[in-house]
Amino acid sequence: MTIISHSVLKIWTAWIAITKLRGATLGIFLTFVAGLYVFCLRSDAAVVTTDGFVLKLDGKPFAIKGMNYAPVPTGAEPKYIPYGDYFIPYYANVWKPDIDKIREAGVNVIKLYGGNPDLNAGAPGSAGNWKAFLDYCWNNGTKPVYVIMFSYTVGNDIRDGGTGLSDYIRQYTELVKSTVTHPAVFGYMVGNEIYDGVTGNPQFWTNFGKLIDAANDAGLSQGKKPFLTTATNDNFTPAHNWPAIQLGEQSGKLKNIDAWTINVYRGPVIGVPGNSPFTQYAQLINALGKTKPLILGEWGTPHTTRPAPAFYGSECVLPIKNLDDVPNSDMGTGRPYYASVPVADFLNSQWNTIIDNIGAKSEQVCVGGFVFIWSDEYYKANNPSSQQGGPNGKFKGGAYAGGYSDEAGYGVTSSVPQETYGGSNPPITRTLFKGYDAVKTFFNASSHSGGELY
């Protein structure tokens, strides 16, 4: 802000010297200065663009070393107040220590799953009630943690139009106008896994295009083109590829989507030869005549496991166990935790696969992705107060480090009780799992921007 003030002061002095205020009314002069102030402010905002299959930040190659951040505490569910939007001053005792550890881990972008414009958006350019959080992420430009913001949507509501669609358009318009010029804002996720059951309906794509265009126009109204993406499940089949990507692009309604995000869980090397999402995406997007990069919106593994069941594919054995507490000697064929591998090894293998597929060549269309997830989310296994297995308790073999997809156990750090959140409570303290240590090591092995990974 000091730099902006000095810039305006110099221009002010020059204006007076040149014009000596000849015929210039005070109103015109103040309007001129205000316009220059806004211009200078906007020049600090992150400019995220794509160049073919390369992601760029302020004109330089940038690879996403990301973390999904949805700090829902033990005992809470996002369907209740604050609806997953913990990114306001009241919860500073949560997000300040979290962002400190996220920054230490070399994360350069976080992706949010909560955001409530009706409660927290402010006037255009103000950043609303998220300003303190975004300022902390920005950190005066020193190792900033950029933010992809989010507001909740449902695919059926978009398809059906009416009040639901109108509300979403209003909310994204307010969200983008409020935050797009903040230097920590990387972009916006418009829809996460909302496509099942609606992809074949042309009206959905017409309405979704209106929502995307509204978000884009909201940014342009503030002098900045917002970076927009959307996430689909990894429901690839050779016959239908990813229906949302194929049908969405063929609809002609998504010209303002800058990149596609896919949430991918295909084991330690993210697929096997002949079943690589990177190759599959490249083939699809090139066939569609597009050059929109691929972002892995979710990748990772639960840190939970349990002893071997009586036979492959049987229901889970409870209670679940933290894989960090299982000695390596108990992992492997014929041992109590026969399908398990250390979480750090699993995540390392995944990241190595990702960086092998970051690049500007036609077969390398990925620009990085987001580890799923920062902290455990107990409510996802149908008991917000206790860490449970499942809800799908089937043995998944090598698809996950512990052999099971336990929704409550994906965190690289622990959940903490709801009563420790907010107000005058001291800063929270999370347990850092071995997955966190792995992420910290391999993310910090590259520069902050990760641009050299291309």
> What CATH number is attached to the domain comprising 427?
3.20.20.80
Q: Is residue 395 part of a domain?
A: no
Q: What three-state secondary structure class fits 190?
A: strand
Which is nearest to 418 in space by CA: 69, 77, 67?
A: 77
Gyration radius of the chain's alpha carbons: 23
Q: Is residue 137 part of a domain?
A: yes
Give the pLDDT confidence score for residue 25 in this predicted structure: 43
Give the pLDDT confidence score for residue 17 in this predicted structure: 39
Residues 149 and 239 in one domain: yes
Which is nearest to 104 in space by CA: 450, 449, 436, 434?
A: 436
Residues 38 and 155 in one domain: no
C-beta of residue 341 within 8 angstroms of C-beta of residue 331:
yes
Cα 401 from chain centroid? 22
Question: Locate tokens 């503030």: which residue?
Answer: 222
The tally of CA atoms less than 13 A away on the side-chain side of residue 189 is 29
Q: Going residue by residue through the chain (454 aa), what tens digit of pLDDT does each one get?
A: 333 333 333 333 333 333 333 344 434 333 333 343 334 434 588 999 999 999 999 999 999 999 999 999 999 999 999 999 999 999 999 999 999 999 999 999 999 999 999 999 999 999 999 999 999 999 999 999 999 999 999 999 999 999 999 999 999 999 999 999 999 999 999 999 999 999 999 999 999 999 999 999 999 999 999 999 999 999 999 999 999 999 999 999 999 999 999 999 999 999 988 899 999 999 999 999 999 999 999 999 999 998 866 544 455 566 889 999 999 999 987 788 888 999 999 999 999 999 999 976 667 899 999 999 999 999 999 999 999 999 988 888 889 999 999 999 999 999 999 999 999 999 999 999 999 999 999 999 999 999 999 9
Residues 166 and 147 in one domain: yes
Q: List the helix and strand counts (H, then E) for the chain.
A: 12, 13
Question: Locate tokens 């594919």: which residue?
Answer: 313
Residues 255 and 278 in one domain: yes
What type of residue is 290?
Answer: K
Q: Give, for 48, the enclosing helix (H) or strand (E).
A: strand 48-51
**Across-strand partners of 55?**
50
C-beta of residue 330 within 8 angstroms of C-beta of residue 258:
no
Give the pLDDT confidence score for residue 183 in this predicted structure: 98
Residue where one domain finishes, among candidates 43, 62, 77: 43
Spatial distance between the Cα atoms of 426 and 419, rounded to a whole number of angstroms: 11
Residues 238 and 191 in one domain: yes
Residues 71 and 157 in one domain: yes
Q: Is residue 141 part of a domain?
A: yes
Residues 167 and 257 in one domain: yes
Residues 122 and 37 in one domain: no
Residues 280 and 418 in one domain: yes
Indicate the pairing of strand 185-192 with strand 228-233. parallel
Residues 53 and 9 in one domain: no
Q: Is residue 324 part of a domain?
A: no
* Domain count along the chain: 2
pTM of whole model > 0.85? yes
Residues 105 and 212 in one domain: yes
Spatial distance between the Cα atoms of 253 and 244, rounded to a whole number of angstroms: 12
Q: Is residue 310 part of a domain?
A: no
Q: Is residue 397 part of a domain?
A: no
Q: Is residue 108 part of a domain?
A: yes
Residues 155 and 23 in one domain: no
Q: Is residue 325 part of a domain?
A: no
Angle between helices 131-138 and 92-104 (to 10 degrees): 20
Question: What residues make up the domain containing 370?
Answer: 49-300+341-376+411-453
